[in-house]
Structure 1
Amino acid sequence: MDSCVACTDEMFGVDGIVKSGNKKKMSRDMESDIESLYKAVPQLAKTFRIIEKIGQGTFSSVYLGEARMQDGSRGLFALKHLIPTSHPTRIAAELQCLTIAGGRENVMGVEYCFRKEDHAVIVMPYMEHQAIVDIIGTLSFEEVRLYIYHLLKALRHIHQFGIIHRDIKPNNFLYNRKAKKFALVDFGLAQGTADTQIELLKDLVGLSKAPRPVFSERNLNSCSLITTKQETKTQLVRTGELSSRRFPPARRGLATVRNQKSQRGVHHSLTCNCFQTDQVCNVCLSRKQQSAPRAGTPGFRAPEVLIKCPNQGTAIDVWSAGVIFLSLLSGRYPFFKASDDMVALTQIMTIRGSRETARAAKAFGKAVLCSRELPRLDLRVLCETLRGRRPVEEVCKSLDDCRKKRAVETPLLSKSKAKFQKVSQSETLVNDEQGWDTVPEEAYDLLDHLLDLNPMTRITAAKALEHPLFTDF
């Protein structure tokens, strides 16, 4: 990108900064941020009046800007200011994704780009939207069906270009409820598939593979709809270590992940004692760390991301869409919440089952061990219970039957009863008016396919759009 203004005064017909009689009162911090942006990229002042900051992320800030168009009308734009430390190739790749794939099929496009030294501002059309967290309790099933359809439509489109978004979540899929418009945004973490059509994504291989410790990852701060940090904790170990470990008696639910590789070269004299503890021993610290792409937002990362699978494809976006669908069907957002990857994996196991998770992990070269078996839950029963459409006793009976059949104890489930009982009768009446009393079986069948633990058999966005749930679309 050259250091030049990407749009000119003549293009917009601007005769100075546009003034508005409805200017909102800004805080001193926001005024300071806007002033700093004007100083960093002075070209902006010639074209835009920055109204306010509307978003703040780890790698960027988003502002609402106003400009006068050629016909004299006022146009609103979203100005994304990337932090100066952003990798140049990363910035250029995001721009290329927006330019090539954006502007259609529910994918946000790009209008202009400004650059001054190490500061870059991407200008996109502004779309008024509502946050899912604010409206999830009032959405009808038909609105949810429309939402997930358009999300899958956007994913199908970018996946055709070989783009893996890697950060699919409601905040990145804008929803204008009144106009029924949708827009997938923020390709700052995107990566390419092996046959990607976005040339610059090919240059990003390795940029997102920051080494991370994978031994005894500690649960520091987590909470969940089903699990708590006192009940579950996870570790990562590699093949060959288990044979040389002295396991202390299991004290709590624990999941362990290891690579399925040859045990040759393992020194059996190096005995590790940190398994199922809150500590990391020197033996584990001395071993070579695993690394794999792990971009994304906690709660929406796919299982293959959580266990550091090096070969990740477009299926991780489909999993994230499945988590969103689960939230919308259950009326609970966010559904998963954990700051530790292994705790997040355990939370997934409480819904999809520990046996099923281990079976899926084995398919892509990992072994998952769990000291407590967690049964797979029925997705319809789970969602309808959380929406108050089923009595708690019915769910607990189903889970108890599963527990007796497998002869395992599930203390995690008893913790959930209190949460289920908080759903009121009034919420049930509202659900009836919104169509939640007639949710078809096809909705939960699609959810099951989206949340397939195995990325190799997980449904694609293109196939999901052909699902019977969307026949009338």
Structure 2
Amino acid sequence: MLITFSRKCHTLPRKRWTLPRSTRTEPAPPGRKALTGKSPDVQMDIEHLSKAVPQLAKVFNILDKIGEGTFSSVYLGEALMRDGRKELFALKHLIPTSHPTRIAAELQCLTVAGGRENVMGVTYCFRKDDHVVIVMPYMEHQALVEVIGSLSFAEVRLYIYHLLKALRHIHQFGIIHRDIKPNNFLYNRRSRVYALVDFGLAQGTADTQIELLKDLGGLRKTPRPVFGERNLNSCTPTPSATTPDAGKAEEALSWRCSMSRASGRALSGSQKPAKAVQPGLTCDCFLTDRVCNVCMSRKQQVAPRAGTPGFRAPEVLTKCPDQGTAIDVWSAGVILLSLLSGRYPFFKAGDDLTALAQIITVRGSRETIRAAKTFGKAVVCSQALPPQDLRTLCETLRGRRRASPGEDVPSALACRNRSPDGGSICEPADSAELTLQNQESFSNCERTVCLMKPALEAEEEEQGWDRVPDEAYHLLDRLLDLNPNSRISAAEALQHPLFKDL
């Protein structure tokens, strides 16, 4: 199946998506070391952090490193409180290259919205030169991949309910989290405590109450300096009344920028400047080995792409510039889809086109094309794919339903093997295999499920999977609405009949 956009895409820098996570199935209780026997590399990292931010050693005994991402590392620290008891904290060390405005915005999100409604708060912040450490309460939690095979439907319902509560709370402040996924929604199964963490990729809506998010999203005409830093990444110079040659400098800089864009076009394969074309002309280079003047004359699309692959909404994958809180709701829908089907991760793709193809195999090609048109994007699909019935899909993947003759599950989502805890590990097919005609892959999975079916059915009946109400799949359908304008909001979802007794 071939999928393309009517406009050319480009790749933006990859964002981080790792947060504090547990490295044990059963974390140690508070007041006890979570891990023992630190590796030499971890010990070196702890020593490096202690030297970079010496104030930490006066307050915390750093026990271990419990998480690492592209732009931060998380450590477990133990502090002696005034009343004599010891308390654990998560110490998030941001890499020195993080932009000061981004760090300050994350702190402001934690300060304003954190500490209630299942949103993690902030306790303190240390800064030494360009090193920043955010101190947060430590919460024991289990990784979803470790428990998904043993969760009951009642636990799944509570999990989604509390996730939607956290989203409703931050959306009221005009915060778009942009990286909703299980690793960022900590879950303590034993005490039923939840916490939304990591606002490192957060953006603000047009009416956001987080002042610094206005600077990051370009909502403020004159961004305020943070920590005394200047923005050195902008191509547009800042006029200065004290500089007599400011006009000449601006002219020279604009000339360099235009030359850079011209050389970029030359590297793309066109040695001649693009000719002016009349607006409204359709592209005629589709499925050819050349780039027409219509495409060359179009402005480069710029839209946020931040987020974790597999959880990005269709409007993010198609680079729609108008993105709102609905992208967080879509990610919550993907999580619910994983929980109901027992497949995590449900979607796994190496690029945006493959990710969109996997969504089409579930939601349908005609529906995706129609939804994309509502937010100004044209998606072309070479094969017509019908939408999947969500109940049938989830029950088949969970092993509660046998496929009838002629019925199939998208090969991109077919189960390749099973995890030891009874769940499944999905390995999506390549983009070239994204059709509904790979019967062999699904048949092998079905035979494996049939051998385990008696034991699985007894266990799932006890966990309530034999009586999942229709309301669960109705809510899933609303959360995975391809059109962000009609997608249910977090506040509306909390009023859904699925949660009527909560």
Shorter-normalised TM range:
0.7 to 0.9
- Deviation of 1:333 (Å): 0.1
Which residues of structure 2 form unaligned runs of 5+?
Answer: 1-30, 220-232, 234-276, 411-433
Letter in 1 for 2:439: S
Instruction: Name the count of aligned residue pairs.
Output: 390
Task: Give yes or no for the alignment of 1:444 onto 2:473.
Answer: yes
| Cα distance in structure 2, aligned partners of 1:159 and 1:290 | 26
Q: Which residue, out of 320, 334, 340, partners 2:351? A: 340
Alignment-derived partner of residue 384 in structure 1: 395
Query: Partner amino acid for 2:458?
Result: L
| Residue aligning to 2:378 | 367
Q: 1:413 to 1:419 in 2, by over 3 A?
A: same
Q: 1:99 to 1:395 in 2, by over 3 A?
A: farther
In 1, the alpha carbon distance for the partners of 2:148 and 2:477 equals 21
Following the alignment from structure 1 to structure 2, what is the Cα–Cα distance between the partners of residues 72 and 456? Answer: 53
Give the match for residue 414 of structure 1: 439
Kept after mapping to 2: 8 A contact 1:452/1:458: yes
Q: 1:58 to 1:266 in 2, by over 3 A?
A: same
Q: Counterpart in 2 of 1:264? A: 278
* Aligned residue among 106, 110, 116 for 2:122: 110
How far the C-alpha of 1:276 sits from its partner, in A, is 4.8
Q: Which residue of 1 aligns with 2:141?
A: 129
Return the match for 1:327 from 314, 318, 338.
338
Contact in 1 for aligned 2:91/2:135 (Cα 8 Å): yes
Is 1:357 aligned to 2:357, yes or no? no
CA separation of 1:21 and 1:374: change in aligned 2, threshold 3 A: closer
Aligned counterpart, 2:181: 169
Q: Which runs of 4+ in 1 moved over 3 A?
A: 19-23, 265-268, 279-288, 409-413
Alignment map for 1:77-116 (pairs within 5 Å):
77-116=89-128
In the other structure, the counterpart of 1:302 is: 313
Structure 2 letter corresponding to 1:437: D
Alignment correspondent of 1:289: 300
Amino acid in the other structure paired with 2:347: F
Shift of 1:266: 7.8
- RCO higher in structure (CA 8 A, sep ≥6): 2
Cα displacement (A) at 1:357: 0.4
Deviations 1:298-338 (A, max 9, x none): 00000000000000000000000000000000000000000
Which amino acid letter does the alignment assign opposite residue 40 of structure 2?
R
Distance 1:383 1:79 in 2: 39
CA distance in 2, matches of 1:395, 1:435: 29
RMSD, matched Cα: 2.7
**Pairing partner for 1:187 from 191, 194, 199:** 199
Deviation, 1:280, is 7.7
Aligned to 1:456: 485
| Aligned residue in 1 for 2:260 | none
Distance 1:21 1:333 in 2: 29
Distance 1:87 1:308, change over 3 A: same
- How far is 1:265 from its partner? 4.7
Secondary structure at 1:77 match in 2: strand
State the alpha-carbon separation in 1 of the partners of residues 437 and 395 from structure 2: 19
Confirm or deny: 8 A CA contact 1:165 1:190 kept in the other structure: yes
Q: 1:346 to 1:79 in 2, by over 3 A?
A: same
Query: Which of 169, 186, 193 matches 1:157?
Result: 169
Partner secondary structure for residue 44 of structure 2: helix
Amino acid at match of 1:418: S
CA contact (8 A) 1:162 1:192 kept: yes
SS in 1 for 2:126: strand
In the alignment, the residues of structure 2 paired with residue 127 and residue 372 of structure 1 have an alpha-carbon distance, to the nearest angstrom, of 47
- Provide TM-score, normalisation by structure 1: 0.78
Equivalent positions of 1:4-153 (< 5 A) are 24-153=36-165
Q: Match for 1:431 among 455, 460, 463?
A: 460
2:486 and 2:55 map into 1 onto residues whose CA distance is 49
User: Counterpart amino acid of 2:164?
Assistant: L
Query: Which residue identity is paired with 2:278?
Result: R
- Deviations along 1:372-428, one digit per CA (max 9) or x if unpaired, are 0111000000000011110122681799xxxxxxxxx95445355236413231323
Contact 2:408 2:439 in 1 (8 A): no
Deviation at 1:459, TM superposition (A): 0.2
Instruction: Report if aligned partners of 1:396, 1:417 keep a CA contact under 8 Å in 2.
Output: no
C-alpha displacement at 1:339, in angstroms?
1.3
Distance 1:365 1:140 in 2: 41
Contact 1:387–1:427 (CA<8 Å) still a contact in 2? Answer: no
